[in-house]
Amino acid sequence: MTAREELAKIEKVFFKGAGLQKACSLEGEERRDYRLAQVERLLSDMRAGGPLAVYLSDRFWTSDEGRMPMPWENTAPIPEPGYLTNPLLSLEEQQTLTDKEMGRLRLILEIAGLCHDLSLYFTFDLKEAFGIKNDFWVSNKQLVEWLTSTKYEHIAMYTAYILKKHAISVYAYGHYQPAQDELAEIFSEEYGALLREPGFNKKVPPRAYAQALISTMLRIERHWQRGLKRKLDPELIMLHDEIYGLIPRQFDKGVLQAAQELYDYMDEQLCGRLSMIERRYHVNSFEELPEEGRHAANEAMSQFAERVRYVRDKYLAKGWIEDNSLAYLYLMDHAQRCGYGFWCEEDDAL
């Protein structure tokens, strides 16, 4: 298939009646608005395998991040270097197109690129897409305002999900487990539904979906910032929230006292202790330790568990941090990282 034939096919399937030729002369905000209108239309048109937007993306790129060219028709399933791609991505084939055809192709590629990133949940350039500050975090006021006020509700829904997905990866890297888990399972009380991937969302309206995700992310971010404004160490904020087993709406005095005592114990008695035991036996993991070394490592963790029970009884009411509760598991995981020397280094990720 030639570039001209493929262009005609794409225009017929994806842009019939969309005024593509006329839109090619648009610039600036007018061009952006047209581009967004087309992406919104393609995202909202659901087919058996997902939104029409992903089918347009598949004409050019694989589902990988970075827009890798899709192997073209009749190419081997696992292409070798130099494999055939869409002729519209070939400079040689593009040179066979007229100026008008190239103008339409450029606009199609702009639309398809945003379709690719949105429908496959990849972060993208917010400045280029929306004309706002390029900061993919909920503290970006321009982004939050755009998502909560735009007429392009499906774009807002997909972008909010990408924002959530990105936040989960940041919290996972920083081991902020209560925040990570809370974002992973956002439930809409109004619609009685878990907010899964946008492509599987059939119950919650796009605007309500985006708003629910943004509200949860804002609450977590504001809680974290309140802790920093109180000059709390990031490790202490995480310990406070781990004791709760979730992201609370306020900092509790008793919980902070318990967290501080655990923080002091970890800092003075536990930090690097597990690594030291492994170095003593010249091994690189717990599994390689001899019985004596394993006993020493287990004893270090058992002593921390006893400290958890001690501060629980000293500062907290009955029912807090019960053994094998989520809060208990959060704290033990935190302690194990501390034991291997990962202490006060997680802050940079948050």
Q: How many residues belong to the chain?
A: 350
pLDDT for 3-43, tens place per residue?
Answer: 999 999 999 999 999 999 999 999 999 999 999 999 999 99
Per mean pLDDT, which range of 42-46, 69-73, 136-140, 152-156 is the poorest? 69-73
Q: Cα(26)–Cα(20) distance, rounded to whole angstroms?
A: 10
Q: What is the pLDDT of residue 347?
A: 46
Query: Considering only CA atoms, which of 185, 225, 186, 191 is closest in space to residue 208?
Result: 191
Q: What is the pLDDT of residue 348?
A: 47
| Residue type for position 148 | T
Q: Cα(97)–Cα(333) distance, rounded to whole angstroms?
A: 60
Q: Report residue 45 as tokens.
A: 């048109």
Q: What is the pLDDT of residue 117?
A: 97
Query: Considering only CA atoms, which of 184, 144, 182, 178 is closest in space to residue 160?
Result: 144
In sequence order, which residues have a C-beta less than 8 Å from that of residue 37 and are 6 or more positions away? 152
Give the pLDDT mean for 59-76. 81
Q: Where are the domains of the chain?
A: 3-120, 121-231, 235-350
In sequence order, which residues have a C-beta less than 8 Å from that of residue 302 and are 6 or more positions away? none
Q: Cα(54)–Cα(52) distance, rounded to whole angstroms?
A: 5
pLDDT for 294-314, tens place per residue?
Answer: 999 999 999 999 999 999 999
Q: Cα(199)–Cα(50) distance, rounded to whole angstroms?
A: 6
pLDDT for 309-345, tens place per residue?
Answer: 999 999 999 999 999 999 999 999 999 999 999 987 5
Query: Considering only CA atoms, which of 195, 170, 199, 167 is closest in space to residue 57?
Result: 199
Distances from the Cα of 14 to the Cαs of 41, 113, 240, in angstroms?
10, 14, 52
pLDDT for 214-257, tens place per residue?
Answer: 999 999 999 999 999 999 999 999 999 999 999 999 999 999 99
Q: Cα(56)–Cα(109) distance, rounded to whole angstroms?
A: 10
Q: What is the pLDDT of residue 72?
A: 76
Whether the CB-CB separation of 278 and 336 falls below 8 Å is answered with: no
Distances from the Cα of 159 to the Cαs of 126, 148, 317, in angstroms?
10, 11, 41
Rounded to the nearest 10 degrees, the angle between the axes of helix 234-244 and helix 177-184 is 50
pLDDT for 144-201, tens place per residue?
Answer: 999 999 999 999 999 999 999 999 999 999 999 999 999 999 999 999 999 989 988 8
pTM of the model: 0.91
Binning pLDDT at 50, 70 and 90, where does residue 50 land? confident
What residues does 85 pair with on adjacent strands?
71
